[in-house]
């Protein structure tokens, strides 16, 4: 069970997020947030207890959550002597949210072997703390990077484990881009999950050996939707410079765009828009 979506928190009508023009225009916006407010929300995360009881200190909540998670859900799956290393493992995964998975790098960082790191990662995935976004590839695409990207399913927990305790520091840090991407991608994942759909069948990313990357590819009803995510109010056409690779994937290409801090839907070209983050 994933944490709440922002639409659930704000009691807004929910449906799967698709960036085609018709869907965007009829989709109800969530509350408008300026950049400082957005990072406050990201830092807080989406666990229900933090909204049902506003007096809970998030730091205390996350400390208790991790302690309970290990003692209740994990202890039977790992050796007691490994609990401290397992916590370090979770922290190491958290600082890599929004990045391509390199299990060797994580294993080396906490001094365990690759098999142990892989087993522990599978625990985080199976218990819903972490999501692995697979790369999109088919017979029409060659030279594709085939490692998944990992995302922590709650940005608040990821920030806590990565050592960020205030939103100003978070917003000005090198972590600000990947944690914003994590927020956007996990909200889209939850939009599918909350409709009873397995997001793994619909959501991918693209990266090839020529350095071309697209943050998110949505494949739905035999159509493909490319999306980029930017911490900017007005990213230009440079943000969609890699969208041309989608034409070679052998599917009908639908509207895509850039999810960003823009206030309104704004066309970048005939097929792609700037998309307010409030439409997630």
Given a cut of 90, is residue 78 above it in pLDDT?
Answer: no
Does residue 142 surpass a pLDDT of 80?
Answer: no
**Class of residue 54 by CB neighbours under 10 A (exposed 0-12, middle 13-18, buried 19+):** exposed
Radius of gyration, alpha carbons of the chain? 19
Asked if 43 contacts 156 with a C-beta cutoff of 8 angstroms, the reply is: yes
pLDDT above 80: residue 143: no
pLDDT for residue 247: 87
Q: Is 229 helix (H, G, I), strand (E, B) or coil?
A: strand
Q: In the numeric block, which tokens belong to residue 262?
A: 């823009």
The encoded tokens of residue 173 equal 């840090």
Q: How far is CA 42 from CA 35, 47, 52, 171, 222, in A?
A: 10, 11, 17, 10, 33
pLDDT tens for residues 244-263?
999 888 889 999 999 999 99
Strand partners, 266: 274
Is the pLDDT assigned to residue 104 strictly greater than 80?
A: yes
Mean pLDDT score, 130-141: 84
Q: Cα separation of 229 and 54, whole Å?
A: 30
Give 16-48 pLDDT, tens digit per residue: 999 999 999 999 999 999 999 999 999 999 999
Across 72-94, b (16+ Cβ under 10 Å) vs e yields eebeeebeeebeebbbbbbbbbb
pLDDT the model gives residue 56: 92
Tokens of 149: 């990207």
Summarize pLDDT for 41-64 with one digit per residue, the tens.
999 999 999 999 988 999 999 999
Residue 140 has what pLDDT? 63
Task: Return d(Cα 176, Cα 19) in angstroms, integer.
Answer: 24
User: pLDDT for 191-232, tens place per residue?
Assistant: 999 999 999 999 999 998 888 899 999 999 999 999 999 999
Residue whose pair of structure tokens reads 């109800």 in the numeric block: 28
Task: Find where tokens 């909204």 sit.
Answer: 51
223 CB neighbour count, 10 Å cutoff:
14
Look up the pTM and report it.
0.95
Q: What is the pLDDT of residues 178-188, one digit of tens each?
A: 999 999 999 99
What CA–CA distance (Å, rounded) separates 74 from 62?
Answer: 16
The pair of three-digit structure tokens given for residue 257, joined into one six-digit string = 């765009």
Q: How confident is the model at residue 81 (pLDDT cuts 50, 70, 90)?
A: low
């Amino acid at each position: 069970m994933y944490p709440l979506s922002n639409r659930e928190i704000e009691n807004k009508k929910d449906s799967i997020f698709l960036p085609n023009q018709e869907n965007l225009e009829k989709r109800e916006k969530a509350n408008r947030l300026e950049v400082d407010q957005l990072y406050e929300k990201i830092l807080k995360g989406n666990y229900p207890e933090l909204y049902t009881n506003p007096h809970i200190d998030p730091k205390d909540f996350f400390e208790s959550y991790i302690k309970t998670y290990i003692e209740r859900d994990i202890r039977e799956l790992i050796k007691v002597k490994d609990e401290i290393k397992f916590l370090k493992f979770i922290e190491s995964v958290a600082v890599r949210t929004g990045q391509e998975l390199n299990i060797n790098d994580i294993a080396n960082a906490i001094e365990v072997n690759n098999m142990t790191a892989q087993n522990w990662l599978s625990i985080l995935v199976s218990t819903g703390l972490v999501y692995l976004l697979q790369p999109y590839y088919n017979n029409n695409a060659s030279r594709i990077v085939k490692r998944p990207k990992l995302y922590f399913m709650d940005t608040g927990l990821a920030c806590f484990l990565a050592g960020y305790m205030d939103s100003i520091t978070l917003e000005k840090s090198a972590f600000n881009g990947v944690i914003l991407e994590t927020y956007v991608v996990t909200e889209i994942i939850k939009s599918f999950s909350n409709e009873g759909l397995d997001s793994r069948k619909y959501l991918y990313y693209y990266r090839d050996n020529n350095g071309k990357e697209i943050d998110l590819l949505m494949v739905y009803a035999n159509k493909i939707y490319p999306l980029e995510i930017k911490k900017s109010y007005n990213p230009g056409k440079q943000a969609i410079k890699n969208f041309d690779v989608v034409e070679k994937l052998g599917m009908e290409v639908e509207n895509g765009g850039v999810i960003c801090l823009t206030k309104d839907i704004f066309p970048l070209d005939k097929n792609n828009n700037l998309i307010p983050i409030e439409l997630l």
